[in-house]
Amino acid sequence: MTRRPTIIDVARLAGVSKATAARVVNGDQTLVRPATRERVLQAAAQLGYERNAVASSLRTDQTKLVALSIPDITNPFWPEVARGVQDGLEQLGYAVVTVNTDWKADREQYYLRLVRRNRFDGLIINPATVSNDTLKNLHIPVVILGSGTYYPDFDSVGSATRDAVADSLAYLYELGHRRIGLCAGRSRTNTERLRYDGYITFHAQHKLPLDNNLIIETEFSEQAGYDAMLRLLHSDRPPSAVFAANDILAIGALRAAQAMGCRVPEDVSIMGMDDIYAASITSPALTTVVKPKYDIGRQAAELLITRMTDTETHPPRHLQLACQLVTRGSTAIYNSPR
């Protein structure tokens, strides 16, 4: 195995001192003539030399590493968020390490220890079970993905889910639907039930009778959406429309309705939330709510950069980005049974 080139090798090839070579490869523009700088860079490229980031971090107390912690890497919602985070941070030379907690407390704690042990400069997290105080004890800048309601000491970026739920139910109401089923994902943290609460509030505002048989709280998976839809359609008085907490659940519901011979949207309307790519290519395509996934990630990156680079202390910011309803073929005007 060939020996890894060192800064001494670069200096020797460029004909300069070790201090000069180190100054150039570390990006210091001062006290080095352009011709000398170019010679050092050419020598480094020729040898395949890479700066020792570990040694550099000991001098600067910066690793240029940021962790992105998400709860479900299989959910198509997260890649766009991650891309926004990466685009926002890479422009300043930060590398993003993405970790997946699977909604499990032990995995989340393991990765938090990794962040602390490896001296990450910052963390962007959609919390599974971690508390506000635990994140404070990391002693690094943290940005929350979500509403941030239970994390008052940190900046947060999320979507205006409460408004989106109200708009979605109002849309179905305007189509004439009065028996609207809710396929709500079960909260793993037992802290926020925005879709469920929005559903209850909507019924109260419109003086609609609340039928608990139309509410199913389940896991966030396609199979769970399928099973929930079967339960709804087998009830004594099935809904004429179903609002699912996300598109994965809605796609499962669509499959179940079609398996039972129900026409969508003629017999039952179905809509979801998130606008993942698959929602646009189902048959029929799903009516859903567009969440600004990339912008959420990009805004989170910008907030974290500010915390990592600004020496002044600012009150936490809690951003809720607007969502947009997009109508497709899975919803239609209610036709009462003849």
Contact of 183 with 197, CB cutoff 8 Å: no
For the ranges 40-44, 256-260, 281-285, 321-325, which has the lowest average pLDDT? 40-44
- Contact call for residues 161 and 246 (beta carbons, < 8 A): no
Q: Write the burial class of residue 70 (CB in 10 Å: 0-12 exposed, 13-18 middle, 19+ buried).
A: buried
Query: Which domains are present in the chain?
Result: 7-49 (1.10.260.40), 60-159+293-321 (3.40.50.2300), 161-291 (3.40.50.2300)
In sequence order, the 6+-apart residues with CB closer than 8 A to the CB of 75 are: 220, 246, 248
For 96-136, the pLDDT digits (tens) are 999 999 989 999 999 999 998 888 999 999 998 899 999 99
β-strand partners of 85: none
What local confidence, expressed as pLDDT, does residue 62 receive? 67
Mean pLDDT, the chain, integer: 90
* Cβ–Cβ < 8 Å for 69, 122: no
Q: For 302-317, what is each residue's pLDDT tens digit?
A: 999 999 988 778 899 9
pTM for this entry:
0.80
What is residue 45's predicted lDDT score, i.e. its pLDDT? 86
Say yes or no to pLDDT of 232 above 90.
Answer: yes
What's the rounded mean pLDDT across residues 130-158? 93
Mean pLDDT value of segment 23-51:
83
Query: Can you read off the two tokens belonging to residue 332?
Result: 């239609």
Which pLDDT score, from 0 to 100, does residue 58 have? 41
* Percent of the chain with pLDDT strictly greater than 90: 67
Distance CA 292, CA 299 (A): 10
